[in-house]
Amino acid sequence: MIAVIDYGMGNLRSVQKAFESMGHKAMVTRDPHAIADASHLVLPGVGAFPDCMRNLQQFDLIGPLLDGINQGKSFLGICLGMQLLFTESEEFGPHKGLDLIKGQVVRFPATKLKVPHMGWNKLNPQKSHSLLKGLPQESYVYFVHSYYVAPDDPGVIATRTDYGVEFASSIARDNIFACQFHPEKSQAIGLKILDNFAKLK
C-alpha cells in the first residue's frame, strides 16, 4: 500500500488517483499506524515552505515520516515535498527543513523569465535511476514553483532542468526520490514515473 501523507496541503487526491489509474493501491492518510504499515511513502506539497513544516509538526507526522524513511521504505517527495527534505529554505525565511538532504532551497534569480516557473519543461538526466527507467530521451514534465533546491552534494541530482539557471529537477539517494515537477500533472511521462515508484520493492 502506498501512503500519501496528508498534512493539509498538496494535491493529495490527484496523486492518489494517478497511482490508482496505474493499478496501484494508494491511500491519503495522516494515521501514524497506516503510515507505519505502508510499503511506500509519498509526500506531495503545494504552498509555502514554513506553512508545510508547521503542519507536519502540528499533525505529528515528522516522526512517522522519518521512521519510514530510516527503515528503508521507498519515499517520493513531490514539489514542496521535495524541498522539505532539505536543510533550510529562504522562502519567508530562513526556515529549517527536515535536513535529510544537505542543502538550501532558494528563489529563482531575477531575469526576464517569469517567476513562478510554470508549465512544461525538459528533464536532463544526470544519472540512471529506476524511477526514470523507460522514459523517452526528450521527457517533458509539468512545473509550478518559484523556489528550487541547491544540494550540497551534486551527486544526489538525478535530473536537471534549465529555466534561466540550471536547477535540480529531481534527486535520488538510497530509498529517497524526489522531484520538483508534478508527475500527477505530467501525463504519460509522470504516470510512468509513478508506476516505476510503485513497483519498487
List active site positions. Answer: 79, 182, 184
Beta carbons of 43 and 145 less than 8 angstroms apart: no
Amino acid letter for position 103: G
Query: Parallel, antiparallel, or unpaired: how do β-strands 2-5 and 157-163 relate?
Result: unpaired
Rounded to whole angstroms, the Cα distance separating 157 from 159 reads 6
The pair phi, psi for residue 125, each rounded to 5°, is -60, 140
Is the link from the previous residue into 116 a cis peptide, with omega within 30 of 0?
yes
Rounded to whole angstroms, the Cα distance separating 198 from 23 reads 10
At 165, list the grid cell.
539557471
Which stretch of DSSP H or E encloses residue 27? strand 26-29
